[in-house]
Structure 1
Amino acid sequence: MLQQVEGGTLIEVAMAAIRRMAAAAPGARLPSIRRLAEQQGVSKSTVVEAYDRLVAEGAVEARPGSGFYAAGRVRPFALAEAGPRLDRAIDPLWIVRQSLERRDPAQAGLLQPGCGWLPDDWLPGDMIRRSLRAIARDAGANLTGYSTPQGYRPLRDHLARRLDERGLDAGPGSILLTDSGSRAIDLVCRFLLQPGDAVLVDDPCYFNFQSMLQAQRARPIGVPYTPDGPDLERFAALCAEHRPKLYLTTAVLHNPTGATVGAGVAHRLLKLAERHDLILVEDNIFADFEARPSPGLAALDGLERVIHLGSFSKTLTAALRCGYVVARADWIEGLTDLALATSFGASDMAAQTTFRLLTDGSYRRHLDTLRPRLARAMARTLQQLTALGLTPFVEPEAGMFLWMRLPEGLDSGPVARRALDEGVVLAPGDVFSVSRGAGRFMRFNAAQCGDGRVFEVLARAMAQG
């Protein structure tokens, strides 16, 4: 029987290490059997089996009398192989797939309290339809052509005014429109990172941050997260140890915890960033859930070393995919070139629709209804979860996420697997944790917890230990 370790069998772990070396240097000679066995702390027979399997796959070439070599042709990049092999219950990309499968009619019965978006009937579908019809009738609308390099100017003008109301002085020239907030993060990472660069992320953090950084061949380094924000003592130590290029975070209504960084912590964080020559990337996509806006990092910094990102996917519609980057003008210049090189700019249809909804009062009316509805759902969900013995990491002032600790002795991974067998997609804590140290936590989306079956299934899954 093969010995199991974290990440798979010893042979699978050795294969993963060889794959990484081969991908980094196609055609290069790989370590000898003895040397790799010493490096991995395994037997020579384990390494022999790992090499044999990779030769059969075509990833490694065996040359008699010379050793093993990485295949000369570059293999397609497999994101699943970029990090440690994970149990499906805590694999971020698998969780995303399960949540999105609900679009398949065959999976329509799934409940998804672990997903990261609002239910369809909470979003302003009728308002969006009216806006699309109005644009179709507008003879001046762009229905056929590419957008301008930085994106639809009227929307950038409006965003500049909105940002000014939040204390961030940024003109339209400092704003680049993108196709979604995820695209905005991708562009910033492409612009600022090189393969192997270290990037600080919160532990826990939005799980797709980890996948995006792995796709860029960067190294995510977890900073312990507290109810007040990142642990600043550990933040400073990690900066000194790893010399990271970026810190990627959600400072307002943090995902998954729901916490918001206070002004005092934010000021100390910015001083640390200056001391260690670190760029902060602030993903601010949940800010509109707040009735009273919190000062973000970019507003306190004035865009000196903070890049501000936003989108309307969470509050308005995920189908239009409209996001933006706010940064120093010289950085926007380079980001714009990169956007043109990789996608030829953003969608004017999405931008025009978003602009109309923002300026005709539709978005304001939608938020006025959405915020109290979310607050009621949050209170109700918190009450039901605490009745099952879970405790909150923090009680958020707004938003949709609750980060809950399971009772002593329970691991959220097995609980999530058992719940999935009953058609409920949960989000176990280690999905969000770089260190895999959040096994007792789960993230719940209060807006997706309206069906009582969520708590019935959760209770049964927890009862099984």
Structure 2
Amino acid sequence: MNRYQSFLDPSQRTKVEQLVRGIQQAIREGRLTPGSKLPSIRAIAKDIGASPFTVSEAYDRLVQEGWLLSRAGSGFYAQRKQQSPSQAVRKQLSDLPLDGDWLLSGIYQGEQQGILAGCGWLPASWYDDQAQVRALRKIAREQVTGMTYGHPQGLLLLREFLAEKLGLQGISCHAEEILLTQGATHALDIVCSTLRLDGSAVLIDNPGYCNLLSALRFRGCQLLPVNWTPNGPDLQLLEQLMQQHRPRVFFTNPWLHNPTGASYAPHIAHGVLRLAQQYDVLLVEDNVSADLLAQAGPSLAAMDGLRQVMHIGSFSKALSPALRVGYLLAPARWQAALTRAKMLAALTSSTHTERLAYELASDSKYKKQNSRLIERIAQSTSKAVAHFEQLGWQVFQPNSKSMFIWARPPQGVSIDQESARQQQIYLAPGDLFSSDGSGTPYYRFNAAYLDNSRFWQWLTAQQ
């Protein structure tokens, strides 16, 4: 056995996780004493058959979690943790009110500490870390420095790639019509600023995306909730609200809807477009999970031809939650105003991350990797839905292949939120996604984090 193989925990899936957990265990057991120097990144990479990028990521994670101390020009040293971050995080989370702002900040602090049953992203271990290594090496070989501000609309190379990709999905557009953003949430904020929605009446999915709800409320908007069925929004209610309030815009998430996991049925999509045209309402289509659709149907933008629709997409779900790259398409009349709103808020977006997104998405292996990701989500969701139904929970859309499961407990069963926090199980109660402020017994679950016996034991004990 090579010298440093004992630093690997074979129970973990990726080399990064194996090294992180193995070194943690070595410190706990005293095999690495506080103050002892660890091998150099290159030495340990060569010994365990990993890339320096992998070892560097593991060391950085251990520094962030307090297991290692980094000394400039000297190296990395083991240290005994003075305080358990899990205890500190639990205290911070327990002190936060359970509202939309909690999902915007609090749950991120607990990522390494418990079961993220209600979070909105996939686990890092589900992605191909070697694909990122290959992409970074390619960028480094080409000596792409990116030391100046990028183009106001974003990296041309990525916009050209997106124009071709979207064209295959039925959305005919040019690179000049695409605005790159720092994720889909940034794109939504740009739309709000461009349309000057402060104080306006706005149609919104109910339940809806909690970050958007918080942003619209912050702007003083009057929210007009459009209730969802398992096939999409209630068309009769949508028409009533359009007739009564004459809103300018409808924010909707038609495919793999967050939080319900449902998608528009074809007749619903046609009905929404018909009403938007009839009442002159601009549709803002949040299609953030497009690449995770097993069988992608035509988007609203494709059906409409970008006349009455703004279309938002992102790479964060399919490539990595850490990759904050989104994009925004809109009717030509809005292009200049949208770009100006982006520049006013944050100048240009990051050329570095946009180039990385391009290399990952254009990699010849991407389609196969993405297919595996879709299949893994489908299997996890199917397994979790079966568990919920076995316990008598009502699942809103049991046939969904989304990571999200919208479910309610059996009649008379009350979930103990404090118990969940004490067990480091982070839930997302349905009230956080309510557009009309009314209470709901539903919860949003993320199937990717539910393959955990401790979670199901805890949930069973709530019955």
Q: What TM-score comes out, normalization by structure 2 length?
A: 0.76
Alignment partner of 1:355 is 2:363:
no
Q: Could you tell me which amino acid in structure 2 is paired with residue 374 of structure 1?
A: I
Alignment counterpart, residue 200 of structure 1, candidates 203, 223, 232: 203
Q: Equivalent residue of 1:370, what SS?
A: helix
Take 2:294 and 2:457, find their aligned partners in 1: how far apart are those partners?
A: 33
Q: Could you tell me which amino acid in structure 1 is paired with residue 448 of structure 2?
A: A
Alignment partner of 1:452 is 2:460:
no
Alignment partner of 1:97 is 2:100:
no
After TM superposition, the structure 1 = structure 2 runs for residues 29-428 of structure 1, keeping only pairs within 5 Å, are: 90-103=98-111, 108-139=112-143, 141-411=144-414, 414-428=415-429
**For 1:226-262, what per-residue CA distance to the aligned partner results, in whole angstroms no more than 9, with x for missing partners?**
1111111111111222222211111011111111112
- Whether contact under 8 Å (1:316, 1:363) holds in the other structure is no
**For 1:164-187, what per-residue CA distance to the aligned partner results, in whole angstroms no more than 9, with x for missing partners?**
111111111210001111110000
Take 1:88 and 1:275, find their aligned partners in 2: how far apart are those partners?
A: 44
Q: Equivalent residue of 1:318, what SS?
A: coil
Take 2:347 and 2:103, find their aligned partners in 1: how far apart are those partners?
A: 30
**For 1:113-134, what per-residue CA distance to the aligned partner results, in whole angstroms no more than 9, with x for missing partners?**
1000001101222211221222
Q: Could you tell me which amino acid in structure 1 is paired with residue 440 of structure 2?
A: G
- Whether contact under 8 Å (2:204, 2:223) holds in the other structure is yes
- Whether contact under 8 Å (1:396, 1:402) holds in the other structure is no
Take 2:96 and 2:223, find their aligned partners in 1: how far apart are those partners?
A: 20
Which residue of the partner structure matches residue 432 of structure 1?
Answer: 433
- Whether contact under 8 Å (1:257, 1:403) holds in the other structure is yes
Take 1:238 and 1:214, find their aligned partners in 2: how far apart are those partners?
A: 18
Give the Å deviation of 1:373.
1.0
Take 1:435 and 1:342, find their aligned partners in 2: how far apart are those partners?
A: 29
Take 1:197 and 1:191, find their aligned partners in 2: how far apart are those partners?
A: 13
- Structure 2 unmatched ranges of 5 or more: 1-94
Q: Equivalent residue of 1:235, what SS?
A: helix
**For 1:7-46, what per-residue CA distance to the aligned partner results, in whole angstroms no more than 9, with x for missing partners?**
xxxxxxxxxxxxxxxxxxxxxxxxxxxxxxxxxxxxxxxx
Q: Could you tell me which amino acid in structure 1 is paired with residue 327 of structure 2?
A: Y
Take 1:250 and 1:438, find their aligned partners in 2: how far apart are those partners?
A: 21
Take 2:273 and 2:385, find their aligned partners in 1: how far apart are those partners?
A: 33
Take 1:450 and 1:136, find their aligned partners in 2: how far apart are those partners?
A: 38
Cα 1:367/1:361, change in 2 over 3 Å: same
Q: Equivalent residue of 1:98, what SS?
A: helix
- Whether contact under 8 Å (1:200, 1:247) holds in the other structure is yes
- Whether contact under 8 Å (1:204, 1:438) holds in the other structure is no
Give the Å deviation of 1:89.
6.4
Greater displacement, 319-328 / 211-220? 211-220
Cα 1:340/1:142, change in 2 over 3 Å: farther
Q: Equivalent residue of 1:324, what SS?
A: strand
Aligned length: 369
Take 2:281 and 2:269, find their aligned partners in 1: how far apart are those partners?
A: 14
Q: Could you tell me which amino acid in structure 2 is paired with residue 207 of structure 1?
A: C
Take 2:142 and 2:110, find their aligned partners in 1: how far apart are those partners?
A: 35
Q: Equivalent residue of 2:102, what SS?
A: helix
- Structure 1 unmatched ranges of 5 or more: 1-86
Take 1:124 and 1:214, find their aligned partners in 2: how far apart are those partners?
A: 38
Take 1:273 and 1:88, find their aligned partners in 2: how far apart are those partners?
A: 39
Q: Equivalent residue of 1:310, what SS?
A: strand
Which residue of the partner structure matches residue 33 of structure 2?
Answer: none
Give the Å deviation of 1:142.
4.1
**For 1:310-335, what per-residue CA distance to the aligned partner results, in whole angstroms no more than 9, with x for missing partners?**
11111111222100001112211111
Take 1:241 and 1:144, find their aligned partners in 2: how far apart are those partners?
A: 52
Q: Could you tell me which amino acid in structure 2 is paired with residue 375 of structure 1?
A: A
- Whether contact under 8 Å (2:184, 2:288) holds in the other structure is yes
- Whether contact under 8 Å (1:89, 1:95) holds in the other structure is no
Q: Could you tell me which amino acid in structure 2 is paired with residue 432 of structure 1?
A: F
Q: Equivalent residue of 1:361, what SS?
A: coil
**For 1:44-99, what per-residue CA distance to the aligned partner results, in whole angstroms no more than 9, with x for missing partners?**
xxxxxxxxxxxxxxxxxxxxxxxxxxxxxxxxxxxxxxxxxxx9664111134332
